[in-house]
Chains A and B, each alone.
Chain A
Amino acid sequence: MDLLTIIFLTGGLFLGWSLGANDAANVFGTAVGTRMVRFKTAAIVCSLFVILGAIISGSGTTETLSKLGSINALPGAFAACVAAGLSVYIMTKFGLPVSTTQAIVGAIVGWNLYTGSSTNIKVLITILSTWILCPIIAGLIAMFFYTVTKKLLNNSKLHILRVDAYTRTALLLAGAFGAYSLGANNIANVMGVFVPIAPFSDINLINLFTFSSKEQLFLLGGLAIAVGVFTYSKKVMYTVGNDLLKMSPVAAFIVVISHSIVLFLFASQGISSFLQSLNLPSIPLVPVSSSQAVIGAVIGIGLLKGGKEVQWSIAGRISLGWVVLPVIAAFVAIIILFILENIFGAGIKI
């Protein structure tokens, strides 16, 4: 692998880092924000399960993303990742919880526009529709869990301290599940564009286990996410946990589990093919936004409580951010591609 390849891969790693700092913070944000799980514990569990999710179940969403536009040269992939990473950084500066998902989709469309490649409209519509579905499903799941949990807690007459102990354990398990689902669902954002041009060769371990080039890429992406979690997510976790809505630890658990289920649903090839086998409409394997899932779940709980506690103006601002982000990412991608092609003479398309 030459130096240039490594440099281009850093684009993906940068995006992985920003995913770790922003999106991964959504998984444990409410748990750490409500001081139910220590940051160090959250960071270790989150990193470990993000990497596992990425390697074991990361393929499904990657396929969908590659159908949107197949970036076929490393400089192009680099431009898309840097554009997505920068856009996320800009939006984060404005205090808007955004996701790398929307940014990378915007950046891929930007690449398509710049190189004159066609954008698969059907896939684009599928992705866009999941962005609307994702918060709604998360909200509905949260409402269901909130109602059931409230009933259970009221009838169980458990001591407040016992509830605390159970909630801590549940938060950690749900967080691990959430991190796994995030890795599975969102690794496509970080490394998806590099898959068709993976600069690695398969590693065969004593004829027992093959570590494919894709899995190696996903491991690398997972590690970048882990670095993001450890270096930058603490502040974001406290923001997600405290600023969005004052939440009880049990509500925090409901947010985490709802978010995790949604991400898992949109990443699980098993569930998708099971639904297909029953002749039911299958769930598209699309990278969805963890921020959207978390905010959907929080609003779901807020609505159940009568809707008075929901800061609708903030919710509106956040939604606007979700529309603006892909546009910004596409625009930034076009600028970077222009610079790469015309100043550095890099081949952005084969």
Chain B
Amino acid sequence: MFGLKSKSLFSQSKELERQIDEFVNTVSEVGLIFKKAIRDYLSNGSGNNFDKMVEQVSSMESKADKIKKEVETALYEDTLIPDARSDVLRLLEHLDEIIGLIQGNCYRFSIQKPAFPKDFHNDLINLTDVVIDSAESLCISVRSFFRDIKTVRDNAHKVTFYEKESDKQTSDLQRKIFKSDLTLDQKMHLRYFVEKIDQIADQAEDIADELQIYSIKRSI
């Protein structure tokens, strides 16, 4: 009635809420799979199991893309949340980039097969864990942004903490790599992988910063 579509307005909201939740879940799950994949790669090399996980990440990336497009279309076509729409879309876009970074890392391991000596395994696992912790904290911040604006700052603070930790571990691991007896080309190759993993935490921190601005804008 009166163009309000009152009945569908609430059901449409519920559907969009579900889609956004699913999108954030996907970001979180992709991170967890990456953690498992790195462990698997270091123990068993680029085998069948690792390739399966890479495929899983790839299909989740496509799923996230599809959800993002659907949410984007719904928000614009029905002029929903006009004041926060552009922020929400930018947020989804940047979260999608995190998935893209993780997917890129998976492909790089699968194609280039870097040879990490055993000495570096624990360091790489620790780095991956802290990087994925930052992405996980970001997912919690994002959920807060949608439902509990007061807690965004607390959760965003954790993202910053893990990003700093990741920077520290990246530097330590790089130092260790360059102190080792590996050849320069090997050192450069491993350093490249360490830096690419660290980029995920950097991206998470950038999004957390943006999120804090969005949450200030969202206050009534």
Within 8 A of B (CB), among A77-102: none
Question: Is B56 engaged at the interface, CB distance under 8 Å to the other chain?
Answer: no
Kindly provide the distance from the CB of A161 to the nearest chain B CB, expressed in whole angstroms: 4
Stretch in A107-115, A151-159, A324-332, A339-347 with 4+ CB within 8 Å of B: A151-159
- Among B4-12, B59-67, B108-116, B197-205, the stretch that binds chain A is B4-12
Interface of B (DSSP majority class): helix
Q: Which of A40, A160, A165 has the most CB of B within 10 A?
A: A160
Known A44-B2, A45-B2, A165-B10: A160·B220 in contact at CB below 8 Å: no
A273 within 8 A of B: no
- B residues with CB within 8 A of A: 2-4, 6, 9-10, 13-14, 16-17, 20, 79-84, 88, 145-150, 218-220
Can you report 19 residue pairs joining A to B where beta carbons are below 8 Å apart?
A: A37-B4, A45-B2, A149-B220, A150-B220, A153-B220, A157-B148, A159-B147, A160-B147, A161-B13, A161-B20, A162-B10, A162-B13, A165-B10, A168-B4, A169-B6, A248-B83, A248-B218, A248-B219, A250-B220
What 9 A-B pairs have minimum CB-CB distances, sorted nearest first?
A35-B82, A250-B220, A161-B13, A165-B13, A41-B2, A41-B3, A164-B81, A159-B17, A157-B148
CB contacts under 8 Å to B, within A27-44, are 34-38, 40-41, 44
Closest beta carbon of chain B to A42's beta carbon, Å = 9
| Chain A hits for B3, CB < 8 A | 38, 40-41
B144 nearest CB neighbor, chain A only: A157
Q: Is the CB of B220 within 8 A of A172?
A: no
Contacts of A37 in B (CB 8 A): 4
B147 touches A157 (CB 8 A): yes
Question: With A and B bound together, what is the CA distance between A44 and B4 in angstroms?
Answer: 12
- Flag if B82 contacts A172 (CB, 8 Å): no
**Could you say which interface size class chain A belongs to?**
20 to 34
Smallest CB separation, A49 vs chain B (Å): 12
Cα distance A149–B84 when bound, in Å? 18
Compute how far the CA of A168 lies from the CA of B83 in the bound complex, rounded to whole angstroms: 13
Contact A160 B148, beta carbon cutoff 8 Å: no
Instruction: Name the residue in A150, A164, A248 with the highest tally of chain B Cβ atoms < 10 Å from its Cβ.
Output: A164
Cα distance A37–B78 when bound, in Å? 11
Assembled-state Cα–Cα distance A347/B88 (Å) = 66
A146 on interface, CB distance cutoff 8 Å: yes
Q: How far does the alpha carbon of A40 sit from the alpha carbon of B4 in the complex, in Å?
A: 10
CA distance A162 to B147 in the complex (A): 10
| Beta-carbon contact of A160 and B4 below 8 Å | no
Chain A, 280-319, contact with B by CB distance < 8 Å: what is the 0/1 string?
0000000000000000000000000000000000000000
Given contacts A35-B79, A160-B146, A161-B81, contact A251 B2 (CB under 8 A): no
